[in-house]
Chains A and B, each alone.
Chain A
Amino acid sequence: MSEWNQSSVDEVPTMGSESQKADETLATGIVLPDGEIPGDDYDETLYEKPENQWLEMWRSLRANRAALVSLIFIILLVLVAVAGPYITPYNPIETEMSNALKPPSAEHWFGTDQLGMDIFSRVIAGTRVSLTVGLLAVSIALTTGIVLGAIAGYAGGWVDTIIMRVMDMMLAIPSILLAITLMAALGKGIDKAVIAIGLVSIPEYARIVRGNILSIKENDYIAAAHVVGLSDARIIFRHVLPNALSVIIVRATLGISSAILDTAALGFLGLGVQPPQPEWGDMLGRARGFIFQAPHTLLYPGMAITATVLAFNLLGDGLRDALDPRARIK
């Protein structure tokens, strides 16, 4: 999932299962295969006051027009998702067989599908499903991943080894395959899809946090904090995590776009929502039979997915550029 994340050269990806890079980088940009950053004993960003960092980010984001447009688009989508049932011109699950497969017209902007349901309404209603699943799945993955990664990184030893092995096991299976298999075992339904997609994304966030912690665990700043008497937990939450936060935010944004694509894939295969609930992927799956006599059934849900994913990708890209100290210098 989210190999999209690796497209910046700042983050030199290393191969193999031990390979995810933590995002604090050095001039050499090298990350050892088990996550340690060699020689990284000085992290300048820790000295910046948090407010400045966010302000910098906002300013840089604003300058990136594409990202800004995406942000606005996403806000719009969220509004649509929230407003959902109130703004659909027709009931998205009401069938009307005599009206089936009508092309776009004034009454039905996107046309109707094979059961006579209005596609425009279904696309709007589907926004809610896609965004909810995306956000929920990423939240699950995020919180679980952060906790696991923090424990692994900080505790070290066999706790670390066990947790990371489990992460490896999950990464050993391609995410869509694992998600589909989970769905086959758990049964169909959108709630199970959330769990499946969330689960398969956990290793990513665990890795980031663990890598972060590992890289600064040994450094003087932390040692000093120990001497002064700060508890471990405080150190983690006050100093280590905020650092990783910027990376996590970027990853999470891109993770949402992956989650939306995966949800659509599951829906397309018939493993997601149960009919007649609207979901973009499911709509595409059921439109497969009509690609010639009613291409509109295929067009709009697909465009909706692409546009949404595009927006999140652009935003994530913009955020990464904004939060990366080196990119700012460029």
Chain B
Amino acid sequence: MVHNRNKLIDLFVGNISNSIVHKILEKAIDTEEIGRRYDKEAITSREIARKYRGKINPIGTRLPEKDIEYIRNKIVNKVRAELGLRISKGYRNIDLDLIEGLVDDTLKNMKVI
């Protein structure tokens, strides 16, 4: 499926947000056995995000400042909303302070910043 640049950025944001929510929830669960070793087919949000990043120009180097600001804010808000939904339903032990650091690390890793 061919997408325009804005759509690709939104898809990238959605998948990165999902993977960060996943990471924070993993930390909220205090058990060692959370991995699913059988789950080979499960494509992860992170892999999909990487695929979309590979289609957003400039590839392999940081994005323009206005894109960075838009992407970062959107991811932080999405992750906060997803985790906030859980907290409002009684989920405890979620550390919202992890969000910003994880977003920056992931964006660096994906060569966005």
A binds B: no
Q: Residues on A close to B: CB < 8 A?
A: none
Q: Residues on B close to A: CB < 8 A?
A: none
